[in-house]
Amino acid sequence: MTNIPGAKKAELPELPKISDRITFLYIEHCQINRKDSAITVTDSHGVANIPSAMISVLLLGPGSDITHRAMELIGDSGTCVLWVGEQGVRQYARGRALNHSSLLLEKQARLFSNVRTRVHVARTMYQMRFPNENVTEDSMQVLRGKEGARVRSIYRKWSKQTGVAWDRRTYDPDNFESGTPVNQALSSANFALYGLAYTVIAALGMSPGLGFVHTGHDLSFVYDFADLYKAETSIPLSFQAAQSLEEGEDIDSKIRRMMRDEFKSTHLLEKMVSDLKYLFDIHDIELPEADTINLWDDKEGLVPNGVSYSEYSHASSDDNLN
């Protein structure tokens, strides 16, 4: 086979710790290629060389054109790649998760699969929305009622502040134009928020489907997580967008740009990462690389992989398959 020029794949000990990497790098309207162990980003301002092993998550915005060779290097470096809208306002597709370990996913699954711990996580999410009130002993039914009242009061607050008439939240997913301007804006703004939440969840290797409040949908946890931020982002911006909407202006484009600017100015992506760590009691995201895969045993825990096991004994050194 003909050797392809370029640096060899980095060994795991050579890769920087996650804490030493650039966290999330967003680029748009550029050509991404590869030069040795760096990706090259070319736009109207020139060329930038970025060591791929220094990037944790690469967000490719509109107008990004990436080569196969660049993707090969990024994959070898353990970098997560996501294709997004402007400033992460939409999430269209993703590559491999940021970490190669399944520990965060396993922790999420353990918390999800036990009623007691699932309720605890759900209460923690509600407590984040009620910082001045202790809700840690409330039932899920009571919490749903409190959350409904909270959201309705937020709608009324912004309706009064902006002068935008408000009746109730109504929308037809099959007929976007049938909604009022503020309801249209809310649909688009929430969709943008879901995209950013999905980006963080996917980048950390967690499941978007294992929700603690929502359930039964492949994006249940995305809806759980995004709900933490609607009161400060999508709701006020939607009322402001409807208030300032000019004749002939497209509300969907307007609110999408407003959400994009909000994500950037408030560093919401970084806050989401921090909140997710808090939610799951993760003190450090330094995780072991999982290129060494073990086998699971219900009595012994983890046993070596790549070994030919007999029916009655543990692995024999003579039977090692590696």
For the chain, domain boundaries: 12-84, 103-279, 294-322
Residue type, 141: Q
pLDDT at 101: 65
Q: Are 6 and 34 in contact (CB under 8 A)?
A: yes
One pLDDT digit (tens) per residue for the chain, 322 residues: 344 333 333 343 333 343 444 567 888 899 999 888 888 899 888 888 887 777 778 888 888 998 988 887 877 776 778 888 887 777 676 665 555 567 788 899 999 999 999 999 999 999 999 999 999 899 999 999 999 999 999 999 999 999 999 998 887 777 777 789 999 999 999 999 998 998 889 878 889 999 999 999 989 999 999 999 999 999 999 999 999 999 889 999 999 999 999 998 999 988 998 899 899 888 755 544 444 455 566 666 666 655 555 555 454 444 444 4
Is it true that 12-84 and 103-279 share their CATH fold?
no
Sign of CA dihedral 91, 92, 98, 102: positive
Q: What does the block give as tokens for 55?
A: 């990037």
pLDDT at 304: 63
> What's this model's pTM, rounded to 2 decimal places?
0.66
Residue 189: phi and psi, rounded to 5, are -65, -40
CA-to-CA distance for 90 and 162, rounded, in angstroms? 26
Provide the H-helix boundaries in 163-250: 181-203, 220-226, 234-243
Does 100 show up as a binding residue in the annotation?
Answer: no
Does 36 show up as a binding residue in the annotation?
Answer: no
Topology given in CATH for the domain delimited by 12-84: Ribosomal Protein L15; Chain: K; domain 2 (3.100.10)
Angle at 100 between CA 119 and CA 225, to 5 degrees: 30
CA-to-CA distance for 24 and 284, rounded, in angstroms? 17
Q: What does the block give as tokens for 174?
A: 């099959």
pLDDT at 254: 95
pLDDT at 6: 38
Residue 259 exposure: Cα atoms within 13 Å on the Cβ side: 31
Residue type, 30: C
Q: What does the block give as tokens for 65?
A: 């054109």
CA-to-CA distance for 138 and 91, rounded, in angstroms? 35
Q: What does the block give as tokens for 194?
A: 């879901």
pLDDT at 13: 37
Topology given in CATH for the domain delimited by 103-279: Four Helix Bundle (Hemerythrin (Met), subunit A) (1.20.120)
Report which of 179, 178, 188, 185 is spatially closest to residue 244, judged by C-alpha positions: 185
Place of tokens 């219900």: 298
Does 227 show up as a binding residue in the annotation?
Answer: yes
pLDDT at 24: 74
